[in-house]
Amino acid sequence: MPKFRFSRIKDESTLFEAIKYLHIECNKLCFEAFGRYLQNAGNIGIFCHFEEEFTKLIEIRNQLTIPSTNPDQKYFTLIQPILIEQTDNIPATEYKYLYVRKPKSDSPQVGDIDFYFEDEEFELIKQSILAGKVYKNARIYDRPDLNMIEILDPNSDVLPYISTRSETERVRVKQSDLTDL
């Protein structure tokens, strides 16, 4: 996996390139794991790898999103949603929420996207993973504060997360100190 494919993101144009890349690659991984494209929650997270990149992306985020007085706000509502058109068979998507994550030395990924199953299907798939069924690169996300499935492909620099619709809405606000804002 290329190290820091888009870092250092310094402008809105490069941010949008990273978002489009995340969209395509996360959808591909979901399709490989589950044999279909999943419903997108509209959440997109960009991972920073350098402090100055984080500072610049917070400036850009502040121009693109509605301010919040909540100190635990993780995903900010975009003033103008980001629309990604259908590419090949990958469905078009509207991203409404943006998260910019602080640099973490153990996380070289470009970022993450949240997808969801309906509640009953999510529980069935989660239980089947716990029982040993293999979905390519999918595993239960190891965070006690989150009920999610993570697709972690060692050859990829993106992270799709899958949960229920309500969980993808809940994660827009910091759930514990395990979240880096």
Taking all residues of the chain, what is their mean pLDDT, rounded to a whole number?
Answer: 95
pLDDT score, position 45: 97
Looking at residue 75, the DSSP 8-state letter turns out to be S
Q: Does residue 136 form part of some domain?
A: yes
Q: Which domain holds residue 90?
A: 12-170
pLDDT score, position 77: 98
Q: Does residue 102 form part of some domain?
A: yes
Burial of 57 (0-12, 13-18, 19+ CB in 10 A): buried
Q: Does residue 180 form part of some domain?
A: no
Alpha-carbon span 3 to 147, nearest angstrom: 29
Lowest mean pLDDT: which of 37-41, 104-108, 119-123, 162-166? Answer: 104-108
The CATH number linked to 92 is 3.10.180
- Tens-digit pLDDT profile for residues 66-125: 999 998 999 999 999 999 999 999 999 999 999 999 999 888 999 999 999 999 999 999
| Mean of pLDDT values over 13-34 | 97
| Mean of pLDDT values over 23-47 | 98
Q: Does residue 79 form part of some domain?
A: yes
pLDDT confidence band for 2 (50 / 70 / 90)? low
Does residue 166 carry a pLDDT above 90?
Answer: yes
Label the pairing between strands 93-101 and 111-117.
unpaired
Q: Does residue 175 form part of some domain?
A: no
Pull the structure tokens for residue 156.
């990829």
